Amino acid sequence: MRRTTTYSAAPRAIFENRHDAGRRLAAELREYNDQSVLVLAIPNGGVPVALEVASALEADLDLVISRKIPMPLNPEAGFGAIADDGTVILNEEAVKRIGLSRQQIEYEASKVRAAIKQRSILYRGDRPLVRVSGRTVIIIDDGLASGFTMMAAVGSVRHRRPKEIVVAVPCASATAVNQVEGVADKVITCFTAFTPRFAVADFYRHWYDLSDDEVIRYLRQWRAQRFRLDITPRQDR
C-alpha cells in the first residue's frame, strides 16, 4: 500500500471547494493516466471531487452508495455504515460503548437500507451498474473522518471482483487511513491529519451539504461531457 500525504498537527482550510480538492487529488493520481480505470464516487459530497478526477484521468465514472448508520438519539454520530449491495461494517467499539442491542442495530440499519434504495433509484434510474470485474477501481469521497462509510463501500466493490481497489480522498484522519488501509489495496490522500478532533469541513474554505438535485445535475453534466450529449431542455434549444 502507498499513501501520498502531507501531515499537520492542526486542521486548517486547504481546499477552496470540492472541485479544487478534486483537481488536487487528480494530481496525486497521475500514475493512472492513460489506464483503463473506473472512478466510483460516494454521494453526495464525493461526486464533484470524483468528477474532477475522472475528467483528468479520462476515466469512467459511476457511484457506490454508502451511508453511515446513525446512533439512536444522536443522528450526527454513527456506529457503522451500509453500502448499496447490503454490505455492513459496524464500529463494534461504539456498539459496545453505548450498549446497542441487535434489535436496535437492525432497526437503525433498516432505515438506512431504505434510504440507500431510494437514492439508488433517484441517481441511477434504470441504468445498469458499470462493469468492475478485472478493473482498477478508484473510490472517492470528499474526506475520511472515521472511515466506516468508505470501508463499507470498499467491501461492496470487492464483491464485484475488481483487479485493484484504490481509495483516494483529499483529506483524512490518520485513524481513518489506518482503518481503510486494512481493506483497500492502496490509500492515497492529499492531506492526512494527526489530530484529536477531525472534521472534513475544516479543510474546505467553502463547504456545504450537497443536495440530491445537485448530485443529479453533476451526473447529467458528466454524461454530457463524456458522451457529448445535448442535455439542454427542448424549449431552450
Dump the DSSP string for 49-109. HHHHHHHHHT-EEEE--EEEEEETTEEEEEEEEEETTS-EEE-HHHHHHHT--HHHHHHHH
Q: For the residues 142-148, what does the mean pLDDT come to?
A: 96
Under the banding of pLDDT at 50, 70 and 90, the label for residue 149 is very high
Q: List pLDDT tens digits, range 163-204.
A: 999 999 999 999 999 999 999 999 999 999 988 889 999 999
Residue 62 pLDDT exceeds 70? yes
- Burial class (CB within 10 angstroms; exposed 0-12, middle 13-18, buried 19+) of 216: middle
Placement of cell 466506516 in the chain: 148
Q: Residue 47's CB: how many other CB atoms inside 10 A?
A: 26
pLDDT at 36: 87
Q: Does position 146 have pLDDT exceeding 80, yes or no? A: yes
Write the CA distances from 176 to 71, 151, 235, integer angstroms.
19, 9, 48
Count the alpha carbons within 13 Å of 160 in the hemisphere toward its beta carbon: 24
**Topology of domain 7-64+132-236, per CATH?**
Rossmann fold (3.40.50)
Are residues 194 and 171 in contact, defined by beta-carbon separation less than 8 angstroms?
A: no
Q: Is pLDDT of 57 > 80?
A: yes
Q: Chain centroid to CA 22: how far?
A: 12
Whether the predicted pLDDT of 10 surpasses 60: no
User: How far is Cα 148 from Cα 67, in angstroms, rounded to an integer?
Assistant: 9
Angle between the N-to-C axes of helices 102-124 and 212-227, in degrees from 0 to 180, rounded to the nearest 10: 40
Maximal CA-CA distance, the chain: 59
Higher-confidence residue of 109 and 6: namely: 109
Q: Where are the domains of the chain?
A: 7-64+132-236
Q: Tens digit of pLDDT for each residue in 63-89?
A: 999 999 999 878 888 999 999 999 999
